[in-house]
Structure 1
Amino acid sequence: MIWADFSDFVSHSRQHFEEGLIRAGYEEVDGGWSGQVEHIAGRTEIIISLPPRFPFVPPKATPANVADVPWSWHRERNGALCLVADDDHDGLWWREAPAFLEHIAAWFESCHGDWKDDRPDLDLDRYFHAANDDRLYIYGDLEAYRGEFVRFGTAPNNAMVMKGRGTRPAKVSKHLRDQFGYVADLGTVDVPPRNWKDLLAHIDASGYLERKIRERLIGLLVLIYQRGDHEGTTFLKVTPTSNGGIDVRRLRSGADTPAARSARSGKDSVELGTRGIAVIGVGAVGSFVADMLIRAGVGRLTLIDDDVVMPGNLIRHLVGPEAVGRPKAEAVKDQLGRQYRLRDDQVEAMSQNALTSDVVFQVIQNHDLVINATADFAVTAFLHAAAQAAGKHVLSAALQNHGDTIRIDVLPPLAGARPLPASASPENHQEPTYYEAGCGSPISPTPPHTVIETAAVTVRHAIGLLLDEPVHPSGEIRQLKHTRNQ
């Protein structure tokens, strides 16, 4: 599509939508198109406007008289109807005016039905204008601070971190950059507050907080509220105005709690938190396997590798240059611990050779799964035999044909399945062309993105085995097709 075609698409979409409104009886007015929406309670006049980015964002629909429609979580700050969720953008369906008008009518049906089965989005902050303070306010568990004064101190990256309880001193140094606030519990909020008057009804019937704000002892409010079974938190900057009011603006904030850090780990993270995995070989593939397992929520990890980090490893490895010369297992353990603030007992590093029978048998017995990421034939055969002897399975991951083939083996295969066949070499397979002095071996041309892809496939199989939902009883062979310029 050339730029002229793109412009034509945008212009045609706008014209097509407006023609649909005209056919539905809408008339052009200042600010948009005016018309009547019929619903079970009668008719409501609304104004439909097309934003500059239409059709890539939906139209706006606002009651001509904002007070004609009850306020709820399904209204915008300016009174517009909340019509399209972020996950309802498939196909830009709102380009068709009849479909959009039907959606508005359905909104009114839900409104008069008191929003049964409502989704409890925790988005109270969108009902307040943004403050001119662009810092990120980071907080931990607030349970012990309800109804308490709190103090925030400066942190790197333009952030403010909650230090704990604290009130603004009577005499303040001009160099003090700390911020002081109060943690208030709004309880269950059926209608979102939009200004200081609305907030008063929830948190300050006595006027105590307002006095503290006017005395400038409180500069921000930390609001805890409930929607359904979910709890939300919003940070607001509160400032007394010259006309006797209180200006309320939203701040950017984020929770730094175990729950917040694990919320995006996936639906199986809680169950994975009870499992232990050993990764043998934490080089390129193994280091990213370890990283993804921790991200997925695996509760206990053992890393086994007797090699050290070399400068040339860094381009395809999880760790950075500060780890050069360190044992790989220890370097990866420290990297994971720093990044995810793990307990000391969550990751164990063993800097020793895997070809030791007592070590291997102990590891297999003491973990729910062992992953072999060494790409070493001897280690793979050793682990296969040890797993058979222990009545367990191991997962072996390797990149073959210099990065053209991903191979994941379940050893031995599950439920009597046949082992995977030997991996064939793709037609475009190329031999390595670089040898590194002091190493004695050719350097594989495997690109970093293939290493990460292999780690991701490995973790997918590992989680399937842990949850008794295997991806395949024998594993997987994946040929990677590379397109090379001739």
Structure 2
Amino acid sequence: MSNDYWDEFVAYSQLHFEEGLIRAGFTTTPVGWSGSVGHGQGVTRVVITLPARFPFRPPRVVPEDREAVAWSWHRERDGALCLVAEDDHDDLWWTDSAAFLKHISAWFEEADAGWPSDRPDLDLERYFEPSRDHRIYLYDEIEGFKNAFVRFKPAKNDTMIMMRGTRVPKAHKSHKDRYGYVVELADVATPPRNWDDLETRLPEELSIGRKIRDRSISILMVTYHRGDSLGVLALDVSVDAERSITARVLTSASTSADTRNLRAGLLAPSLGDRKIAIVGAGAIGSFVADALVRSGVRNLTLIDPDTILPGNLVRHLVGPSCVGLTKVEAVRRHLLERNEDRNLTLDAVVQRLDTGADAYDLIDSHDLVINASADFSTTALLRVAAESRGEHVLSVALVDHGATFRIDVLPPLSDVDATPVLDTPDLQEDVAELFEPGCGSPISPAPPHAVMEAASAAVRHAIGILSGRPLDDAGETRNVAPQGKAHES
């Protein structure tokens, strides 16, 4: 997109929008476009302004009489209407002024009805001015600290960690800890917008104002509920010379396992007690292990006899500090370091899977065995062992010089053809084998993104099997990385 095209697009969008406002009876004023919006309960006059990033940000709308419109969770701190949620930016629909005015009218009708279908967003922090303290205040299971003094200690990366504690009398000036109090806010029908508004809703018997004025605390952690969801507001509270209290919002975040599991998928809770073995902790196996742990798995057995070499790092999960470690130990250390508070059980087995007895033990002691060894004999060994036990293993590998991943359920979950027809890409003719100095076997040219896609697909199939919702009875094959010369479209 050239600069001329960009400028023309922006100018046309603004002109088109403003012409629509004129047709709707709006007039320009020094503060914006002023006009009336009709709704079920009457007419409300508003001022519409276009932000600097219009049309890529929606217009701003403020009632001319800000106090005549009821305050709610659907207004900004300055009185503007909350019209477009962050997850409603699929297109630039608001550039159509008629559609935008209709949306404003619908906002007023919802407000008149008391927001019957309100979504309980936990965004109380946007109603307070931000603090100059830009550190992140971290807390764990905060409801266990309700109505208690807490202490925040500085940690790495400009974070502050919450723990129990009260202010040290006559603390030295160099003392870096900060002290606070955790209190529950009962009334959240409308959001408080300043300290005075907030204080009237806090329990009088806790004397929060006195605690702030005598400098026992400089942090106030406010918990509240909207629907079944818990919200937390961290405030930096201070007292001026006239003994007036100012409250400014701090950036805060939970470190609890429940919070992390919210992003791990709906099936994460059911995966915590499942035990999975991964045979092969190389490129694919390492990312399979990482994705499984991120998805909620807590018990893993890693099996591989090999060692991390510098060349492995291009496609492997771990970094340079792991060169020289066995692959299973390198992956184990990485997962434990990254998930130090998640109660992982990771067994690292430095050996090759060679015997039927070992295969039987592995299958019998795990809910699922994933074969990422890319070794035909290991795959065959596990398939025969699984068939004889009446169980199933999952096998994943890259083939066609990394252009295709293949995932097999062995044996298939039903009587189906486990060797589907695969349309392979036109590879460059005579792909030369690649050798790494000091390594006798050819090196696969599979690119890192193919490794990650194969691992991701394997984890989807694994979770499907573990949850009783298999994606396919036999598995999956997919072309992911055409190699060699580029193809003409």
TM-score (norm 2): 0.95
Assess, with a 3 A threshold, how the Cα gap between structure 1 residues 54 and 483 changes in structure 2: closer, same or farther: farther
SS in 2 for 1:98: helix
CA deviation profile, 1:231-278 (whole Å, cap 9, x unmatched):
100111011123442111111111000011211011111222232221
* Superposition misfits of 4+ residues, deviation over 6 angstroms: none
| Matched-pair contact (CA < 8 Å) for 2:257–2:342 | no
Q: Distance in 1 between matches of 2:380 and 2:423?
A: 20
Q: CA deviation at 1:64?
A: 0.5
Indicate whether 1:234 and 2:229 are aligned.
Answer: no
Amino acid at match of 1:349: A
Could you list the runs of 5+ residues in structure 2 that have no partner in the other structure?
Answer: none
SS in 1 for 2:5: helix
Q: Distance in 2 between matches of 1:483 and 1:468?
A: 40
CA deviation profile, 1:285-311 (whole Å, cap 9, x unmatched):
000000001111123222111222222
Q: Distance in 2 between matches of 1:238 and 1:188?
A: 20
Q: CA deviation at 1:60?
A: 1.0
CA deviation profile, 1:184-241 (whole Å, cap 9, x unmatched):
1102411111101111112253582222222222111111011111110011101112
Indicate whether 1:74 and 2:74 are aligned.
Answer: yes
Which residue does 1:25 correspond to in 2?
Answer: 25
Amino acid at match of 1:334: R
Q: CA deviation at 1:483?
A: 7.3
Tell me whether 68-77 or 337-346 shows the greater mean CA deviation.
337-346
Q: CA deviation at 1:157?
A: 0.5
Counterparts of 1:385-404 in structure 2 under 5 Å?
385-404=384-403
| Matched-pair contact (CA < 8 Å) for 2:271–2:296 | yes
Q: Distance in 2 between matches of 1:207 and 1:366?
A: 54
| Matched-pair contact (CA < 8 Å) for 2:426–2:482 | no
Which residue does 1:46 correspond to in 2?
Answer: 46
Amino acid at match of 1:417: V
| Matched-pair contact (CA < 8 Å) for 1:404–1:481 | yes
SS in 2 for 1:410: strand
Amino acid at match of 2:145: Y
Amino acid at match of 2:79: G
Which residue does 1:377 correspond to in 2?
Answer: 376
Indicate whether 1:92 and 2:74 are aligned.
Answer: no
Q: Distance in 2 between matches of 1:335 and 1:105?
A: 54
Assess, with a 3 A threshold, how the Cα gap between structure 1 residues 354 and 53 changes in structure 2: closer, same or farther: same
Indicate whether 1:289 and 2:288 are aligned.
Answer: yes
Assess, with a 3 A threshold, how the Cα gap between structure 1 residues 207 and 254 changes in structure 2: closer, same or farther: closer
Q: CA deviation at 1:312?
A: 1.8
Q: CA deviation at 1:24?
A: 0.7
Counterparts of 1:9-408 in structure 2 under 5 Å?
9-162=9-162, 164-203=163-202, 205=204, 208-341=207-340, 346-408=345-407
SS in 2 for 1:91: coil
CA RMSD of aligned residues (A): 1.8
Q: Distance in 1 between matches of 2:90 and 2:319?
A: 40
Which residue does 1:466 correspond to in 2?
Answer: 466
Assess, with a 3 A threshold, how the Cα gap between structure 1 residues 111 and 424 changes in structure 2: closer, same or farther: closer
| Matched-pair contact (CA < 8 Å) for 1:204–1:210 | no
Assess, with a 3 A threshold, how the Cα gap between structure 1 residues 349 and 2 changes in structure 2: closer, same or farther: same
Counterparts of 1:438-453 in structure 2 under 5 Å?
438-453=438-453
